[in-house]
């Protein structure tokens, strides 16, 4: 029995959940040594260019609030609810069909834009398609960002796109809003559910990922009117499935393949690697399922969850009715209500020796681990269609606020169809 | 829809194969 228990649980040093903010940055070897690979940094971590090497303590409640805003906007997009507020702005009306809210943007990469190259920190986002950054002269407004704002007039490889061009007409599937015209130049608009938006010119520019990965003529949004909850970050690298996404635009080189490892603590960098170089041999695949009204998303078919080695009694229709998608921009996994209830009760039953404590925001299963050096938690694994069974690392199961409040890092959706 | 978020993706290498129409996970693929 003891042996069984060991196989089915993680023993975690509690100190590892709270790395000291001063610890120096540890670079991902894969990002450093692999072709077409970028370092991924945690927005608040010691590795981020934006924190000058000092970790900033993120406001977890704010992170979870923005995360919920993102999830709400993804759900509203999928349920075809279109919020009919129109965003008035001088250069164009943006009919407000929300894209997916920026959310809390934890993970960023640095990409060079223009000639000469201008490095910018962008959120990488598999849940949206259009790459955009703020642009001088910020005709309307730009939120504050750490790096100098990109100035297209100082780049010799920048071109506006005409509004009669094919990319302009493909804006509606990439952003939810059709392109419009301003002096025959194509104008894009993307509104995020939480009152933030970016409006500007659809343009073509040189993108430099690494010294040997340079792409001329990448379509992106040059934002002249941006209101974001996203201070500090220059914009977004869209990795969705639409034809305007970065993987689609570089398909000839990378065949729409990319992989990433997110840093599991803010003192490490992860990697975002384009192409099939150095993909781990232990990878297990599951087919992408297409979500109606969400063709840009990477849909997944979850078929089961095990906790501590035991498969939860969840009928497969609980997952198949609403479907599922994977999103690098959503922080906390959202499960259908019945699946979450089963996960929560199985997890709590196996954590009964630890005192429960109050919920935080969307996380309702929390424990007071003060006074403990280690915690033993049951392993959690997801089964996907096609036979892939994925065991989550210990970092993927808990969300630590403080020693006296460490929570199960899952939340339930409000509605079976979500 | 259920949404598989980035907390759960930590310590996994996540592979998007758009051309192959599949997503892959490699546990401990990041060390």
Chain A nearest C-alpha distance from B31 (Å): 8
CB A362 within 8 A of CB A68: yes
pLDDT of residue A20: 74
Phi, then psi, of A162 in degrees rounded to 5:
-75, 150
Residue A195 buriedness (CB in 10 A; 0-12 / 13-18 / 19+): middle
pLDDT of residue A30: 87
Is 80 exceeded by the pLDDT of residue A330? yes
The strand pairing partners of A356, in sequence order, are A367
The arithmetic mean of pLDDT across residues B8-30, rounded, is 93
Tens digit of each residue's pLDDT (9 = 90 or more) over A117-134: 999 999 999 999 999 999
Is 80 exceeded by the pLDDT of residue A322? yes
CB A125 within 8 A of CB A237: yes
| Chain-chain contact of B17 with A256 (C-beta, under 8 angstroms) | yes
Catalytic position from the list A125, A129, A213, A301: A125
Cross-chain CB nearest to A283 (options B6, B7, B24): B24
Mean pLDDT of chain A: 88
From chain B, the residues in CB contact with A288 under 8 A are: 18, 21-23
Is 80 exceeded by the pLDDT of residue A45? no
Tens digit of each residue's pLDDT (9 = 90 or more) over A261-275: 998 887 889 999 999
CB A310 within 8 A of CB A387: no
From chain A, the residues in CB contact with B25 under 8 A are: 283-284, 286, 388, 390
pLDDT of residue A87: 36
The strand pairing partners of A238, in sequence order, are A125
From chain B, the residues in CB contact with A328 under 8 A are: 6, 9, 14
CB A175 within 8 A of CB A79: no
Among A15-24, A129-138, A350-359, whose mean pLDDT is lowest?
A15-24
**How far apart, in whole angstroms, are the C-alpha atoms of residue A137 and residue B11?**
41
* CA count, 13 A, side-chain hemisphere, A396: 23
Q: Of A18, A27, A57, whose CA–CA distance to A405 is shortest?
A: A18
Cross-chain CB nearest to B1 (options A270, A288, A322): A322
The verdict on A94 touching B (C-beta cutoff 8 Å) is no
CB A142 within 8 A of CB A197: no
The verdict on A259 touching B (C-beta cutoff 8 Å) is yes
pLDDT of residue A57: 67
pLDDT of residue A407: 97
Q: Of A135, A62, A157, A140, whose CA–CA distance to A102 is shortest?
A: A62
Q: Read off the pLDDT band of A48 (50, 70, 90).
A: confident
CB A309 within 8 A of CB A7: yes
pLDDT of residue A46: 66
Catalytic position from the list A67, A129, A327, A415: A327
A194 in catalytic set: no
Q: Express as a percent the part of chain A with pLDDT over 90.
A: 67
What are the strands, taking DSSP E only, across A331-373?
333-335, 356-357, 366-367
Is 80 exceeded by the pLDDT of residue B27? yes
Cross-chain CB nearest to A259 (options B6, B14, B21): B14
**SS3 (DSSP) at A344:** helix
Q: Read off the pLDDT band of A98 (50, 70, 90).
A: very low
Among A17-26, A36-45, A343-352, whose mean pLDDT is lowest?
A17-26
| Chain-chain contact of A262 with B9 (C-beta, under 8 angstroms) | yes
Tens digit of each residue's pLDDT (9 = 90 or more) over A187-216: 999 987 667 789 999 999 999 999 999 999
Question: What is the enclosing helix (H) or strand (E) of A402?
Answer: strand A398-402
pLDDT of residue A84: 35
The arithmetic mean of pLDDT across residues A276-301, rounded, is 90
**How far apart, in whole angstroms, are the C-alpha atoms of residue A47 and residue A118?**
20
**How far apart, in whole angstroms, are the C-alpha atoms of residue A329 and residue A145?**
19
Q: Read off the pLDDT band of B9 (50, 70, 90).
A: very high
Chain pair A-B, CB pairs under 8 angstroms = 183
Cross-chain CB nearest to B25 (options A332, A390, A413): A390
Phi, then psi, of A136 in degrees rounded to 5:
-65, 150
pLDDT of residue A25: 84
From chain A, the residues in CB contact with B14 under 8 A are: 259-261, 326, 328
A125 in catalytic set: yes
| Chain-chain contact of A285 with B2 (C-beta, under 8 angstroms) | no
């Amino acid at each position: 029995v003891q042996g069984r228990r060991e196989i089915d649980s993680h023993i975690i040093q509690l100190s590892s959940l709270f790395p000291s903010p001063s610890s120096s940055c540890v670079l991902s070897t894969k990002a450093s040594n692999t072709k077409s690979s970028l370092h991924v940094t945690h927005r608040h971590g010691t590795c981020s260019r934006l924190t000058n090497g000092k970790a900033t303590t993120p406001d977890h409640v704010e992170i979870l609030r923005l995360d919920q805003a993102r999830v709400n906007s993804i759900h509203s997009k999928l349920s075809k609810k279109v919020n009919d507020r129109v965003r008035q702005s001088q250069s164009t009306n943006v009919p407000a069909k929300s894209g997916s809210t920026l959310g809390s943007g934890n993970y960023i990469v640095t990409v060079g834009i223009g000639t000469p190259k201008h490095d910018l920190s962008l959120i990488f986002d598999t849940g949206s398609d259009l790459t955009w950054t703020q642009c001088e002269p910020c005709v309307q407004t730009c939120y504050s960002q750490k790096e100098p704002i990109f100035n297209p007039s100082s780049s010799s490889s920048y071109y506006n796109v005409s509004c009669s061009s094919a990319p302009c007409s493909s804006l509606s599937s990439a952003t939810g809003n059709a392109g419009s015209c301003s002096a025959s130049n194509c104008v894009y608009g993307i509104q995020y559910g939480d009152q933030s938006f970016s409006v500007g010119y659809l343009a073509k520019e040189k993108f430099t990922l690494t010294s040997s990965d340079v792409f001329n003529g990448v379509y992106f949004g040059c934002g002249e009117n941006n209101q974001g909850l996203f201070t500090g970050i220059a914009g977004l690298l869209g990795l969705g499935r639409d034809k305007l996404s970065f993987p689609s635009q570089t398909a000839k080189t990378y065949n729409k393949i990319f992989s990433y490892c997110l840093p599991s603590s803010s003192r490490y960098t992860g990697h975002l690697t384009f192409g099939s170089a150095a993909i781990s041999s232990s990878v297990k695949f599951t087919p992408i399922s297409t979500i109606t009204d969400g063709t840009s998303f990477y849909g997944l078919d979850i078929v089961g969850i095990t906790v501590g080695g035991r498969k939860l009694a969840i009928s497969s229709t609980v997952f198949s009715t609403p479907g599922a998608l994977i999103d690098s921009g959503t922080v906390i996994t959202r499960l259908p209500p019945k699946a979450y209830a089963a996960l929560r009760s199985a997890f709590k039953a196996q954590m009964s020796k630890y005192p429960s404590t109050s919920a935080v925001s969307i996380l309702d299963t929390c424990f007071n681990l003060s006074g403990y050096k280690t915690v033993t938690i049951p392993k959690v694994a997801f089964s996907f269609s096609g036979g892939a069974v994925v065991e989550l690392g210990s970092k993927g199961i808990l969300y630590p606020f403080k020693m006296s409040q460490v929570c199960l890092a899952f939340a339930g959706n409000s509605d079976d169809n979500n | 829809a259920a949404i598989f978020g980035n907390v759960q993706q930590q310590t996994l290498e996540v592979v998007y194969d758009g051309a192959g129409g599949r997503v892959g996970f490699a546990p401990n693929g990041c060390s």
